[in-house]
Structure 1
Amino acid sequence: MSAPATVVLLPGLLCDEAVWADQLTGLGERPCVVPDYGTRSSITDMATHVLAAVPAERLCVAGHSMGGRVALEMVRLAPERIERLALLDTGVTPRPEGPDGLAEEQQRLALLALARAEGMATMARRWAVGMVHPERLNTPLFEDIVAMVARKSTAVFAAQIQALLGRPDARPVLAQWRGPTLLLCGRQDSWSPLARHEQMQALAPQSRLVVIEDSGHMSPQEQPAAVTGALRRWLEQTC
């Protein structure tokens, strides 16, 4: 009997393995890895790095937030290695043109300027307010998220901002993908809302959409048991 495929858990913007802590424990009977993107400044470079860094030929790839975009780029680059795909609290469209795209750029660069002027911890505390369910503000979990983001450098932040501003249009990749697919979203995710994931499901009708109740954007940490359960069912799903 062949060894199970390696589960690749891709973190989002300014996140590390802490965002997947419960999943690493809950999926522990399977080989799991959480990559680090370093200071790579494009989604393609991040995906290429992960594909090279994880030697297993068979991969089950789950990406949270920016990690979902990296996951889809891995599918584009090496579809023969990807067995199944999970996209959590993420999106597939490129940065919009015109005023909306400019507003996004200004918002992201303002946070980078704050980080450079007052430190990553100060920026993290402001940024994380919009990332969690309102009831989790000023809780130990909120402080854990702030600490996780503060572990990253401004160089990493600048590189990941560049990657997100230049993100590719992943809609064709998702539309062509036919493997087992999980789409997951926190009910109160205001950054990557449920409506966006419903649009993604329309592109991938074979996918399963799971809504995590009482959760904002950081669903793997906010509702770890529910997210781990959804990932376990995804790993057991047949084509």
Structure 2
Amino acid sequence: MQVDRTLSWRGRRVAWSCAGSGPAVVLCHGTPWSSALWAPFAEALSRDHTVYLWDMPGYGASSMDPEHPVDLGLQGELLADLLGIWGLERPHLVAHDYGGAVSLRAHLLHGAPLASLCLVDVVALSPWGSDFFRLVREHADVFTRLPAPVHRGVVESYIAGASHRGLRQEDLDALTAPWLTTAGQAAFYRQIAQADERFTDDLEPRLGDLAVPVQVVWGREDAWIPLDRAHRLVRAIPGAGLSVVDDAGHLIQLDAPVMLATELGRWLASVR
């Protein structure tokens, strides 16, 4: 399943796709990923659901215009509008990494109606962001001008650190490819430079207002967003459940695909 359709939103090109039949499920990626990370799961879920994949502007096959902001606030507005464009009244949302904050903002701040939320190793509570994030924010223009081979090494090392089990070369190549063009290099550092905890800080007081079923899924060995965030998130959201996946890091889709697919299938069956 690939994002083979496009639509225009505020001058941005948004790549997306839809497959299957049944209750609607929208899969939201994070950073520095794209919908490709969710594609195998989307294909499996499309047997019983109508599954929507999309790339946030600045990522994957969507536009990477340097003049367009790519912050979490903007992406949350876009997601809320996308659900309306697609005619989805109460879809199920499954979100990873940044996609968590984007989904929560779409629902809590922009009124997007949902049937349920499944939050997988998400950015939702401060603090988040690494020393590398802070360094890029301070020197984004310098990183944008790195020689291509040096930039490639930076991106590969950064992405590899999200896996607990280690990545196959073909997976590493697929995850780094969107960032290795001239436009991709600039976009990679631009989205880090625009990362700001204020976009999750204004969410945290509203988490107690969530009135839809919520399931939190986390890799026990997540070095990017440690497991304590999952426990904090569950305490903050009324009635939220928690599944911890052993021997998996932040890239749980690649570290433990069978366990993640099982968790997603079980969750969606329970809220159908």
The TM tier, using the shorter chain, reads 0.7 to 0.9
Does 1:214 find its partner at 2:247?
yes
> Which runs of 5 or more structure 1 residues have no equivalent in the other structure?
none
Larger relative contact order (Cα-Cα within 8 Å, sequence gap ≥ 6): 1
Give the conservation status (yes or no) of the 8 Å contact 2:125–2:233.
no
Q: 2:192 aligns with which of 153, 161, 166?
A: 161
Instruction: Give, in angstroms, the shift of residue 109 of structure 1.
Output: 5.2
Counterpart Cα distance in 1 of 2:44 and 2:207: 27
Determine if the alignment matches structure 1 residue 73 to structure 2 residue 100. no
- What do the CA deviations read for 1:30-72 (whole angstroms, capped 9, x no partner)? 1112222214422121011122223212221111111111111
Q: Is the 8 A contact 1:8 1:33 kept in 2?
A: yes
- The offset of 1:92, in angstroms, is 2.0
User: How far did 1:104 drift?
Assistant: 4.7
Q: How does 1:9-88 map to 2 (within 5 A)?
A: 9-29=27-47, 30-39=49-58, 40-54=69-83, 55=86, 56-79=88-111, 81-88=113-120
Count of aligned residue pairs for this structure pair: 233
Q: How far did residue 111 of structure 1 move?
A: 7.8
Structure with greater helix percent: 1
| Deviation, structure 1 residue 198 | 0.7
Rounded to whole Å, the distance in 2 between the matches of 1:148 and 1:155 is 11
Instruction: Choose which of 134, 142, 150 in structure 1 pairs with 2:172.
Output: 142
Alignment partner, residue 226 of structure 2: 193
**TM-score, normalisation: structure 2:** 0.74
Percent identity over the alignment is: 22
The answer (yes or no) to whether the contact 2:217–2:243 under 8 Å persists in 1 is yes
Q: Closer, same or farther in 2 for the Cα pair 1:62/1:211, shift >3 Å?
A: same
Which residue in 2 is equivalent to 1:172? 205
Q: Which amino acid aligns with 1:67?
A: G
Whether the 8 Å contact between 1:63 and 1:71 is mirrored in structure 2 is yes
Residue pair 1:95, 1:101 contacting (<8 A) in 2 also = no
1:81 is paired with a residue whose SS is coil
5 Å-filtered alignment, 1:93-112, equals: 93-94=125-126, 104-106=133-135
Distance 1:236 1:153, change over 3 A: same
1:227 is displaced (CA, Å) by 1.2
1:48–1:74 contact (8 Å) kept in structure 2: yes
Deviates more, 1:201-210 or 1:112-121: 112-121
RMSD over aligned CA atoms reads 2.9
Q: Quick check: which one's strand share is greater?
A: 2
- CA drift at 1:172: 2.2
Alpha-carbon distance between aligned partners in 2 of 1:207 and 1:88, rounded to the nearest angstrom: 13
TM-score normalised by the chain length of structure 1: 0.83
- Confirm or deny: 8 A CA contact 2:106 2:112 kept in the other structure: no
Q: Distance in 2 between matches of 1:32 and 1:137?
A: 26
Give the superposition deviation at 1:222.
2.1
Q: 1:49 to 1:145 in 2, by over 3 A?
A: same
- What one-letter code is carried by the residue in structure 1 that aligns with 2:218? C
Cα distance 1:145–1:41, how it changes in 2: closer, same or farther (>3 A)? Answer: closer
